[in-house]
Chains A and B, each alone.
Chain A
Amino acid sequence: MLQSVSQTRNDGVVSHVTNVANDVNDNIAAFGREIEALRREIEPQLGAEDSQHIRAIDKLSKRLEITGRMLLQFSFEPLAFSAGTLALWAHKSLELMEIGHMALHGAYDGLEGADRFESKSFHWKAPIDEASWRVGHNVRHHQYTNIAGRDPDLNFAALRLSPRIAYRAAHALQPITNVFSWFGFATAINLHVTGILDIYLEKGEPTAVPDRERATVRSAQRKFASKWLRYHAREYGFFPMLAGPFFPKVLLGNWLSELGRDVHAAAIIYCGHVGATDFAGDFEPSSRAEWYAMQVEAARDVEMPEWLSILCGGLNLQIEHHLFPRLPPNRLRQIAPRVREICQKHGVQYRSDSWSRTLTSVLSELRRLSSREAAAG
């Protein structure tokens, strides 16, 4: 629906608005009003319930960490070792998504008793530089979602996530590089948001950093390294060393839990936007309502039970998250049915499917994008 509007504009016939386009605009305005009514209803409700939720999740995450690390330190048979790895993996997934990603969005800002999750001072238990993330993700990705050239998350230099991104020879290897990116997902994200990928792999002008001047490169390297090194020194140095002669065992457990977290996060996050509507670089929503519609059409949801959704940090509800980036994940789960209803009522495309089917379609889309011929969708 939105494409028809943007199409009209791209053809350069702004003054000649057809009746069809008018109907579409009215429809979008009505859709926007309902979304804002929902926002008016939910935002004043934020408070004790949400604070309780994040503290409960935090407590769970801490228990999982202690259990996981103890089991890895003191296990002498494969079963306890596996249980420890799994617990640590769950802890790391919670820290990356339900706690960290949402806290950095400001979802827990101003909630009583949730001071530790204030966005400006929050320390992410993930190897990603928080300040760079807030700019690259909260501002650029969320404001210009799926707009070619403006959304940084469509173009990872060697990876092309939209047919509107210019093709390069390296993209032919995409099915392979893509799989590799899953195994070092958090590191790849850090390389991406700090601008290292842009500086070294992008052929054109970098977008995450202003230029390739010496000082800029230095600062990007410093941002990348400071958090990344500290995090990995803890995971692969400090904790394994505590085990003394069992150093390799703990190292292996920690590495497996990192791997689990990365593959799991990639498997849910790649489902968020790949294969949804993407927009040409000159697309500019003309109203808040159109921006809301654009956010819905640029994202896709994955249906899953609540416990799994918590483990995925609510990122299975990308549509709701993109409409209301500052809403905590428990609220996203609460409003999802109503958002779906509003979208269907006004003919805004609400993509939602099971995880396996979405993942299959995402993987085939990524394969399609590895060929030059992939047409703009």
Chain B
Amino acid sequence: MFAVASDFITDLGRQVSQTKDKVWTGVTRRVVPALDRASVRLNADVPVLEAAIGRLDATLSLRAVRARVEAIHDETHDTKTYWLRPNARFGTFRAGAHVTLHLQIGGRAVERTYSLSSAPRTDGLVSITVKRVAGGHVSNWLADTLRPGHVLTLSAPRGEFVLPNALPRKLLMISGGSGITPVMSILRKLVAESAACDVTFLHFARTPRDIIFREELERISQAHPNVRLAFCVEADGGTREQAWTGAQGRFCPELLQETAPDFRELDTFLCGPPAFMRCVVQTLEREKADLSKLRYERFTTEVDASMFSDQVTRLRFVRSGFESVSNQPRTILEHAESAGLAPVFGCRAGNCGTCRSRKLSGVVVDVTTGLESQPGEQFIYPCVSVARGCVEMDL
């Protein structure tokens, strides 16, 4: 009699707690995303409220972009992809963008910037793909410590390494090592949209087993005749059962000539280690390629200083985040337009004043007078101004 009653009460208790859990998860599943979306509109930074919603779910925040790690996959022996579900403050992004992770490792705040390797998806998941760097503080911490369920703080996505507004008919993508990630993001987007665009994808790795996304890339190139794929490895490695049949060696103009004979006129996306990028840019310069069509992504300032020769102009459009590199003496307005921007203009002859905009730094030459400007911040007329060296525009 007593035993029956005891069983009944235990059973009831279990059922109550199960129902409570079910109701609670049901509520949070509906309430958390709604709160998340609502919190984006709310621009008040109230600490009490921040703490309250943070207790409900760790990704909710009134001020920070946060993301929960959903899954972790191995890509190669030393590279992992981390799938993240960011909160609504993350916003939308264009394929090729990057984010900065704000981490606490051993009680110290560290920041690292990584390209998103996924294209924008309907389920809201984004991924970063990180290779272990020998002795690397953060990359090893990510690989060893991060587990699904952890919550990260990161920046909103930004970046200039994105497709132009008007999609070109042909693209050349060159990547080296883990520099494949932003290029992969762009390729995934093109494939997902079945874009009418011929892509030549050139990837360089140390050995065949270091090729990140190899299987997916091979699948894509088989399913999509408009995607041409070429891998090139420095050394065979000799660990695989099958021998390496692809190209071998370092980046060279002959390889470029072979895979993309019209590379001089193509829109080109380049990302890789500094030495690799310097080598590619210098080759393109030597081969008289149209550098205004080159876009590159770099995470070290070391690249920029020595990557180009002196005749090349580098234009940074700071507000929109675009960058244009060219060896052609075109006006800043023309460069902005070929980078996919649409600044206002009128006469295009320096008379009407419509295009007047702010130069942040650098020297420009007025083509109507031949006069050089001051190097500092000032207003100029982009339709009659040609950049000298490196110029930053508030466009």
Interface residues of A (CB under 8 A from B): 36, 39-40, 43-44, 105-106, 109-110, 119-120, 134-135, 138-139, 142-143, 288, 291, 325-326
Contact = CB atoms under 8 A, between A and B. Distances in A.
A54 to B, nearest CB: 16
Contacts of A134: 346, 352, 354
Majority DSSP secondary structure for residues of B touching A:
loop
A39 B352 contact: no
Contacts of B347: 138-139, 142-143
A142 B369 CA distance: 19
Given A105-B353, A110-B378, A325-B351, A139 B368 contact: no
Contact of A119 (B353, B368, B378): B353
B353 A135 contact: no
A138 B349 contact: no
Contact of A43 (B349, B354, B371): B371
A358 to B, nearest CB: 25
22 contacts: A36-B370, A40-B369, A40-B371, A43-B369, A43-B371, A105-B352, A105-B353, A106-B353, A110-B378, A134-B352, A134-B354, A135-B346, A138-B347, A139-B346, A139-B347, A142-B352, A143-B346, A143-B349, A288-B349, A325-B352, A325-B353, A326-B351
B141 interface: no
Interface in B194-211: none
Given A135-B354, A139-B352, A326-B353, 17 more contacts: A36-B368, A36-B369, A39-B368, A40-B370, A43-B369, A109-B356, A109-B379, A110-B378, A110-B379, A134-B352, A134-B354, A138-B353, A139-B354, A143-B346, A143-B347, A288-B368, A326-B351
Contacts of B352: 105, 134, 138-139, 142-143, 325
Nearest to B380: A110
Interface string B337-354: 000000000110101111
Most interface-central of B346, B370, B378, B379 (chain A CB within 10 A): B346
A43 B370 CA distance: 12
B378 A109 contact: no
A138 B354 contact: yes
Contacts of B356: 106, 109, 119-120
Contacts of B354: 134-135, 138-139
A143 B352 CA distance: 8
A143 B368 CA distance: 15
A40 B369 CA distance: 5
A365 to B, nearest CB: 27
A355 B169 CA distance: 60
B383 to A, nearest CB: 11
Contacts of B346: 134-135, 138-139, 143
Contacts of B349: 143, 288, 291
